[in-house]
């Protein structure tokens, strides 16, 4: 794809729960989708030194975001752990009707030694 950016992930360790990596955004160029790039990027992030104590991933996903649900369900399965979700931010209460409701998704606990086997 020449010199184009094909994907990125933004996230951070939760200050009050440093064993949890919160994934803020996942983006993959349309031409690069369907190749497992997002999964590989997530696993590479988990294998970085600053994630050595991470045992959970959290993110938010709208009900209709099928690619994100697929990504995080597949990640949970590959890490052999649970995926839990619950309503978190309501369309009317939090977004004044301007954005769909978000579910808080939590994956874990997992052992980072498992991620090394998956790369």
Give the per-residue pLDDT at 27.
Answer: 94
- Predicted confidence band at 96 (pLDDT cuts at 50, 70, 90)? low
Instruction: Give residue 33's pLDDT band: very low, low, confident or very high (50, 70, 90).
Output: confident
Structure tokens given for 37: 């790039």
Q: Is the peptide bond before 73 cis (omega within 30 degrees of 0)?
A: no
Spell out the domains of the chain, with CATH numbers in brackets. 7-111 (3.40.630.30)
Q: Is pLDDT above 70 for 88? A: no
CA separation for the pair 28, 109 (Å, rounded): 26
- Please check whether residue 11 is in contact with residue 45, taking contact to mean a CB–CB distance below 8 angstroms: yes
pLDDT at 93 > cutoff 70: no
């Amino acid at each position: 794809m020449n010199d184009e950016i094909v994907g990125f992930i933004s996230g951070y360790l939760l200050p009050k729960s440093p064993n949890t990596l919160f994934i803020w955004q996942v983006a993959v160029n349309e031409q690069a989708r369907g190749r497992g790039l997002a999964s590989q990027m997530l696993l590479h992030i988990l294998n970085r030194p600053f994630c050595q104590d991470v045992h959970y991933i959290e993110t938010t996903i709208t009900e209709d975001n099928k690619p994100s649900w697929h990504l995080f369900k597949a990640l949970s399965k590959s890490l052999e752990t649970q995926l839990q979700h619950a309503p978190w931010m309501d369309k009317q209460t939090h977004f004044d009707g301007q954005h769909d409701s978000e579910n808080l998704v939590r994956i874990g606990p997992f052992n980072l030694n498992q991620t090394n086997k998956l790369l």
